[in-house]
């Protein structure tokens, strides 16, 4: 084939593609998240990436439509999923009779949003979701269980977070109590973007909505409250006698009791009344975890309680609570900020290098070691020197050289590449030496 027919290899922009040694770490972190979900008795679900557009777009307004990958295949109007929640709702509605409740499922999979490509935004990204779905009703223990999993996931990932927790009823009821029942959504929208637009602009917008000066101060004041649960609760609980407000306070108190029983690390959580989470469907507990050392990363995990999961697909009521980690974005941030302590070049512990015609003996030796750690034979046609150089470049910790003498005597030269110490040992002693040094 000549040059003229060669197509320049390239990928679509906005799609992450890691090098295999980076992908190894990515996968290991995903495994850790999965292990926490499994530990809490969540079972995996894997819905198709493609769904009928009628299903995926059942609830959507305009915005998601533009982002979504949508096309026809034959007569069928198809979308690529843009989140894992609508597929969950569809699944629960379809299988509601055979599921056990509370139904706990996790789903770790790719979702697709064709938004404008920009740094840190991906058109394909892995989401790690876990949700608890009740049949008709759902205990607040479920909310605490999600908070516990957030705690454990980031503990396991060795990432320092603070999970900022609130309850939408508190702010909702507070605003209602101030007398702005009809403006609640608009006021919440302003308060939700206060970090973006700044306090002064927020005040102006609140004023435009007809909120008077004193109440603007009250609102700014309450959403700035954050800190230890017990401190904040005692400061705010008497701020209003609105029933929704009091409901929210009581839900927070109850969740906090469970938090203590579950031994959630209290340094890693705070009650923070600025947490609103724009989306309409949250109805109680809401939370957003941030990395305090890197506030610019924004929310690395979020979630909350919703009254009704599957309202577009069934008359039955399925309240739920869940958490979601946008892992592709998080990994990209960790990688580009050098926050992944080590990206190894390889997963190989021992490289076996033949010297002369000993390839078969090397392969046999690999069988011996391969039950204990990852082990590789240098079987490519290159010089011995080049192979040693490669092992060094790949930062493989141990090398065994197998020449014809070694085969005869069953004594092998084992080299610890990290300190250049060389041993002459039987294969059994090579094994012990490597295992002891790990």
Interacting residues with its own copies between 38 and 67 (CB under 8 A): 38-41, 43-52, 54-55, 58
What is the helix (H) or strand (E) element at residue 351, kind and residue range?
A: strand 350-354
The residues, ordered by sequence, that sit 6+ positions from 102 with a Cβ below 8 Å of its Cβ are: 132, 133, 134, 135, 138, 139, 142
CB count within 10 Å of CB 39 equals 11
Q: Which of 63, 98, 267, 296 binds its own copies (CB under 8 A)?
A: 98
CB of residue 269 vs its own copies: minimum separation in angstroms? 16
Question: 200: phi > 0 → left, psi -120 to 50 → alpha, else beta; which?
Answer: alpha
CB of residue 235 vs its own copies: minimum separation in angstroms? 25
User: For its own copies, which stretch binds (CB under 8 A), given 83-91, 184-192, 400-408, 430-438?
Assistant: 83-91
Question: Between residue 136 and residue 175, which ones bind its own copies under the rule CB under 8 A?
Answer: 137-139, 141-142, 144
Give how far Cα 33 sits from Cα of 16, 128, 254, Å: 20, 8, 27
Q: Which residues are bridge partners to 399 per DSSP?
A: 351, 415
Q: Considering the complex, state which of residue 82 and residue 245 has its C-beta at the smaller distance from its own copies.
A: 82
Rounded to whole angstroms, the Cα distance separating 169 from 171 reads 6
Q: Considering the complex, state which of residue 90 and residue 329 has its C-beta at the smaller distance from its own copies.
A: 90
Question: Between residue 283 and residue 312, which ones bind its own copies under the rule CB under 8 A?
Answer: 310-312
CB of residue 44 vs its own copies: minimum separation in angstroms? 5
Q: Is 11 in the site for its own copies (CB under 8 A)?
A: yes
Q: Is 76 in the site for its own copies (CB under 8 A)?
A: yes
Q: Considering the complex, state which of residue 49 and residue 204 has its C-beta at the smaller distance from its own copies.
A: 49
Q: Is 370 in the site for its own copies (CB under 8 A)?
A: yes
CB of residue 230 vs its own copies: minimum separation in angstroms? 16
The residues, ordered by sequence, that sit 6+ positions from 210 with a Cβ below 8 Å of its Cβ are: 180, 183
Q: Which of 153, 216, 348, 434 binds its own copies (CB under 8 A)?
A: 348
DSSP string, 278-323: S-TTEEEEEEEEE-GGGGGG--SEEEEEES-S-TTT-SS---EEEE
Q: Is 438 in the site for its own copies (CB under 8 A)?
A: no
Question: Between residue 379 and residue 398, which ones bind its own copies under the rule CB under 8 A?
Answer: 379-381, 390, 393-394
Rounded to whole angstroms, the Cα distance separating 26 from 16 reads 12
Q: Considering the complex, state which of residue 89 and residue 401 has its C-beta at the smaller distance from its own copies.
A: 89
Q: Is 367 in the site for its own copies (CB under 8 A)?
A: yes
Give how far Cα 29 sits from Cα of 39, 59, 125, Å: 15, 33, 15
User: For its own copies, which stretch binds (CB under 8 A), given 9-17, 170-178, 234-242, 244-252?
Assistant: 9-17
User: For its own copies, which stretch binds (CB under 8 A), given 2-10, 172-180, 198-206, 266-274?
Assistant: 2-10
Question: Between residue 248 and residue 267, which ones bind its own copies under the rule CB under 8 A?
Answer: 257-258, 260-263
CB of residue 348 vs its own copies: minimum separation in angstroms? 5
Q: Considering the complex, state which of residue 1 and residue 385 has its C-beta at the smaller distance from its own copies.
A: 1
CB of residue 262 vs its own copies: minimum separation in angstroms? 5
Are β-strands 421-425 and 282-290 bridged in parallel, bridged antiparallel, or unpaired? unpaired
Q: What are phi and psi of 397, to 5 degrees?
A: -70, -35
Tokens of 138: 């759902």
User: For its own copies, which stretch binds (CB under 8 A), given 22-30, 153-161, 265-273, 419-427?
Assistant: 22-30
Q: Which of 61, 62, 63, 73 binds its own copies (CB under 8 A)?
A: 73
DSSP string, 228-295: -HHHHHHHHTTS---HHHHHHHHHHHHHHHHHHHTT--GGGEEEETT---S-TTEEEEEEEEE-GGGG
CB of residue 172 vs its own copies: minimum separation in angstroms? 21
Q: Considering the complex, state which of residue 39 and residue 418 has its C-beta at the smaller distance from its own copies.
A: 39
Q: Is 130 in the site for its own copies (CB under 8 A)?
A: no
Q: Considering the complex, state which of residue 7 and residue 63 has its C-beta at the smaller distance from its own copies.
A: 7
Question: Between residue 204 and residue 243, which ones bind its own copies under the rule CB under 8 A?
Answer: none
Q: Considering the complex, state which of residue 171 and residue 259 has its C-beta at the smaller distance from its own copies.
A: 259
Tokens of 326: 């946008």
Give how far Cα 205 sits from Cα of 211, 213, 352, 386, 437, Å: 9, 12, 70, 68, 64
Q: Considering the complex, state which of residue 347 and residue 424 has its C-beta at the smaller distance from its own copies.
A: 347
Cis peptide bond upstream of 102, omega within 30: yes
CB count within 10 Å of CB 75 equals 5
């Amino acid at each position: 084939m000549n040059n003229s027919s060669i197509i320049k290899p390239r990928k679509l922009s906005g799609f992450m593609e890691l090098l295999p040694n980076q992908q190894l770490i990515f996968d290991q972190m995903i495994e850790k998240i999965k292990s926490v979900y499994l530990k809490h008795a969540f079972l995996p679900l894997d819905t198709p990436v493609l769904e009928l557009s009628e299903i995926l777009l059942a609830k959507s307004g305009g915005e998601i439509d533009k982002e979504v990958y949508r096309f026809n295949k034959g007569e069928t109007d198809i979308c690529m999923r843009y989140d894992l929640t609508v597929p969950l709702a569809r699944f629960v509605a379809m299988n509601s009779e055979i599921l056990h409740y509370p139904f706990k499922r996790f789903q770790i999979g790719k979702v697709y949003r064709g938004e404008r490509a920009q740094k840190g935004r991906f058109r394909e990204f892995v989401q790690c979701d876990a949700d608890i779905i009740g049949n008709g009703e759902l205990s607040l223990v479920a909310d605490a269980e999600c908070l516990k999993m957030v705690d454990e996931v980031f503990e396991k990932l060795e990432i320092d977070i603070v999970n900022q927790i609130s309850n939408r009823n508190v702010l909702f009821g507070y605003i209602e109590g101030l007398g702005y029942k009809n403006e609640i959504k608009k006021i919440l929208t302003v308060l939700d973007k206060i970090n973006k637009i700044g306090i002064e602009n927020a005040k102006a917008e609140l004023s435009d909505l007809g909120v008077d000066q004193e109440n603007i101060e009250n609102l700014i004041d309450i959403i700035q409250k954050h800190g230890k649960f017990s401190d904040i609760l005692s400061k705010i609980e008497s701020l209003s006698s609105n029933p929704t407000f009091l409901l929210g306070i009581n839900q927070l108190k109850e969740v906090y009791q469970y938090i203590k029983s579950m031994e959630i690390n209290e340094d890693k959580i705070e009650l923070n009344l600025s947490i609103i989470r724009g989306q309409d469907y949250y109805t109680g507990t809401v939370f957003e975890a941030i990395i305090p050392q890197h506030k610019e990363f924004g929310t690395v995990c979020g979630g909350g309680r919703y009254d009704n999961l599957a309202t577009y697909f069934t008359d039955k009521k399925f309240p739920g609570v869940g958490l979601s980690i946008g892992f592709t974005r998080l990994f990209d941030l960790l990688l580009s900020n050098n926050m992944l302590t080590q990206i190894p070049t390889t997963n190989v512990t021992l490289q076996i290098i033949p010297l002369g015609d000993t390839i078969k003996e090397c392969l046999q030796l690999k069988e011996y070691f391969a039950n204990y750690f990852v082990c590789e034979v240098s079987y490519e046609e290159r010089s011995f020197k080049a192979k040693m150089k490669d092992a060094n470049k790949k930062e493989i910790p141990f090398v065994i050289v197998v020449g014809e003498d070694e085969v005869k005597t069953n004594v092998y030269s084992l080299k610890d590449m990290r300190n250049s110490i060389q041993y002459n040992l039987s294969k059994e002693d090579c094994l012990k030496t490597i295992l002891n040094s790990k």
